[in-house]
Structure 1
Amino acid sequence: MQIDTLSVDARNRESTHHGTLGFPMAVYHSVLSQNVLGYIRLHWHEELQFCLVFQGPVAFSAEDRTWQLETGDGIFINSGYLHMARPLGNPDAGYICLDIHPRLLCGFPGSVLEQDYVLPALSDPVLTARPLYRKDPWQAAVLQKIREIYQESETKKPGWELLATARVYEIFAAILSHQPSDDCRTRKWSRANTVAQRILSYLTAHYEEKITLAQVAVYASYTESECCRIFKRFTGESIFAYLRELRLEQSVRLLDSTDQSISEIGESCGFRSPSYYIEAFRQQFHCTPFQYRKKKRT
């Protein structure tokens, strides 16, 4: 299954429901060029995420770190942390993605699994993310299990959920059993993740309006320079470059789903003039909004 657009709520938490209430795990085959912006923008969700790159390279960022992963490599991203993915060179780069809600691992509230393993892992600052390299034996075994879960989700033979869940437990156990040694466990929980989330929340809630850096800084409760520095660490770009891409992404939704005029869409998405909107759209998508809409509707 491929998701072409990323839906988030006011806190920039992904609002897509992954899996079902009865089986809270979803399996995706994500080709980055099929996303509206050509990459997965910064977001977070409650689910644990395990990825396997089937065509690379892909740059994964989680909190304030970035890893370049080649074909066959992967990554684990913990619940609640901001992350994003960009293709490097090849726009059709992509990865298999497992999104797993922690309650699948807990079994039931108050269980040993929940109290001794899942909850401590969710709050462990060392477990923000863990790259998985195909050349490391135990990590290669984890990557193979991700591949097997994907294959089982495609065929959906009777009992595939049981087999997938068993492999998820094996994957999670492998991650926990290969924690860094005590002298490496010096990484502290950083407020930067919260600050970046607040900045994103403000941009998401107010992208239709004129936004100043001073307003963003007041909302984030940090100085303007620190907001810029933290956001650059998380995304690799400036706050206002990200805001422009956010506005363009929202405008694509309106081009697809409404009959509003080009100028109305540009204004409702925060662009100060129709000409500026058209030029920004052309730079991002290599066509005008009118050409995009016409192509989509023919």
Structure 2
Amino acid sequence: MLKNICCIELRSGSKEEVMPDFQPDFPYLASYVDFDQCAGRFVPWHWHKEAELFYVEEGVLEYRLSRGTVVLPAGSGGLVNSNVLHMTRAQQDNVRTTQFNHIFDVSLIGGWQGSRIERKYITPFVTAPQVEMVALRPEAPEQAQILEALRASFQITEDYAYEVRLRAALSDLWCRIFALAEPLLREKARRDKTSDHLKTMMAYMHEHYAERISVAEIAAAAFISERECYRAFRDTLHTTPVEYLKGYRLQQACQLLAQGGESLTSISQSCGLGSSSYFGKVFREAFGCTPQAYRREWQESDKFRRK
């Protein structure tokens, strides 16, 4: 069953994305993302050790990665590698944008640790820093066939031998994508520490966003200089540490606004945004409406979805 995802939660320790309903005996989640239901029509920067197979159902989707941006229209798809820092955004305003996702631990298809399948077909892929994503486009005939199989895999029903049929479909898709990626896998590439530094600094901000924190403290969390901190955010995320922190605080505020009737003053303070007047100002700049209007619109749409 597809789970509708409109916001992400992060693990308290590693700060990777939490996978709701992820079970250790079958580490898999099928999700559906409607970007109309996401604050700002984007899913913020995050990462997870699980692989992500996705299909763009409607609209045009941007995947932003540390090595650049990939634009994928409806009918496209791809595989995001394990532990890759990424964010997704609906490219077109007023155009509904949706995607389907298979998110799974690679052990689901690789079997036990050290197995032949893991050594030959899993480890070479997930440990390749040069392979952040393999994009699939319908105009390429071979990729179009994979995309047809990918879309069909989301139609597998939860009846007899569902887990076996799903694992078989994921294994087939992995094998075909692995073959496409082989030329990249043969390239030699050194791991860029910038992504690791960013994850560490982002984790620090996610842990302390309610507090007053400085760029010096953010940089110190990754044992780098402030100059290197600014460079990492600029070159990879195309923003500053301060702007990223503000954006993260606003995302947390959006979740609180959608959840209930907590006062704006309480929300602004608990999210590290200071006074309610400043909160209102930066919220309008980011989302084009007031916090009150956002809450009202979200709660009304939530009532509609429950009918």
Alignment RMSD, CA only? 2.3
User: What is the alpha-carbon distance in structure 1 between the residues aligned to residue 100 and residue 261 of structure 2?
Assistant: 35
Q: Which runs of 5+ in 1 are unaligned?
A: none
Q: Secondary structure at the match of 1:127?
A: coil
> Quick one: distance in 2 between partners of 1:265 and 1:110?
48
SS of 2:39's equivalent in the other structure is: coil
User: 1:102 maps to which residue?
Assistant: 106
Distance between the aligned counterparts of 1:114 and 1:186, measured in 2? 20
Q: CA deviation at 1:178?
A: 2.4
| Aligned ranges 1:15-54 → 2 under 5 Å | 15-17=18-20, 19-54=22-57
User: Which residue of 224, 228, 249 corresponds with 1:226?
Assistant: 228
Q: What is the match of residue 118 of structure 2?
A: 114
Query: In the alignment, which of 126, 140, 144 is matched to residue 140 of structure 1?
Result: 144
Q: Partners of 1:38 and 1:72 in 2: how far apart?
A: 19
Mapped partners of 2:62, 2:244: distance in 1: 17
| CA separation of 1:181 and 1:260: change in aligned 2, threshold 3 A | closer
Deviation at 1:119, TM superposition (A): 2.4
Contact 1:73-1:134 within 8 A present in 2 as well: yes
- Structure 2: distance between partners of 1:235 and 1:55: 25
- Pick one of 79, 85, 88 that aligns with 2:88: 85
Q: Secondary structure at 2:40's aligned position in 1? A: coil
Residue pair 1:56, 1:90 contacting (<8 A) in 2 also: no
Shift of 1:281: 1.8
Relative to the length of structure 1, the TM-score reads 0.90
| Cα contact 1:195–1:220 (8 A) shared by 2 | yes
Structure 1 residues 43-64: Cα deviation after superposition (integer angstroms, max 9, x where no partner): 1112101111112311102333
Bigger drift between 176-185 and 8-17 goes to 176-185
CA distance 1:181–1:294, shift in 2 (3 Å): closer
Change in 2 beyond 3 A, CA 1:79/1:266: same
Of 237, 240, 244, which aligns to 2:239?
237
Whole-Å separation in 1 of the counterparts to 2:82 and 2:184: 23
Letter in 2 for 1:146: L
Instruction: Report what 2:214 is aligned to.
Output: 212
Q: Choose which of 141, 161, 170 in structure 2 pairs with 1:159.
A: 161
AA at the equivalent of 1:12: K
How far, CA to CA, are the matches of 1:197 and 1:123 in structure 2?
A: 17
Aligned residues between the structures: 296
Amino acid at match of 1:23: F
Measured in 2, the distance between the counterparts of 1:182 and 1:68 equals 20
CA contact (8 A) 2:125 2:185 kept: no
TM-score scaled by length of structure 2: 0.87
Checking the alignment, whether the CA contact within 8 Å between 1:192 and 1:230 is kept in structure 2 is: yes
Query: Cα offset for 1:66?
Result: 1.4
Contact 1:64 1:233 in 2 (8 A): no
- Counterpart AA for 1:151: Q
Identity over aligned pairs, percent: 26
Task: Please report how far the alpha carbon of residue 259 of structure 1 lies from its aligned counterpart in structure 2 after TM superposition.
Answer: 4.6
CA deviation profile, 1:177-223 (whole Å, cap 9, x unmatched): 22353797133211011011012112111111222222212222223
Task: Look up the match of 1:176.
Answer: 178
Other structure's SS at 2:181 match:
coil
Question: For the structure 1 residues 260 and 95, does the alpha-carbon distance in structure 2 shift closer, same or farther, using more than 3 Å as the test?
Answer: closer
**Distance across 1 between alignment mates of 2:167 and 2:223:** 42
Corresponding residue for residue 250 of structure 2:
248
Return the offset for 1:258: 5.3
